[in-house]
A = this chain, B = another copy of it.
Amino acid sequence: MLKRDCPIEKTLNLITGKWKSVIIFQLFEHQKCRFSELQRLIPECSKRMLALQLKELEKANIIQKNIILTSPAKTEYSLTPYGQTLEPVIKSIDTWGKQQKN
Name A's B-contacting residues (CB within 8 A): 3-4, 6-12, 15-16, 18-19, 21-22, 25, 42, 44, 85-86, 88-90, 92-100
CA distance A6 to B45 in the complex (A): 14
CA distance A11 to B21 in the complex (A): 11
Minimum C-beta distance from A94 to chain B (A):
5
Chain B residues with CB below 8 A from A11, complex form = 93-94, 96-97, 100
Given contacts A88-B92, A92-B92, A96-B85, contact A12 B7 (CB under 8 A): no
Minimum C-beta distance from A44 to chain B (A):
5
Q: Is the interface of A mostly helix, strand, loop or mixed?
A: helix
Minimum C-beta distance from A89 to chain B (A):
5
Kindly report how many copies of this chain are found in the complex they form together.
2
Task: Specify the chain B residue showing the minimal Cβ separation from A10.
Answer: B97
Given contacts A10-B100, A18-B3, contact A89 B92 (CB under 8 A): yes
**From B16, B44, B94, contact of A4 by CB (8 A):** B44
Chain B residues with CB below 8 A from A85, complex form = 96, 99
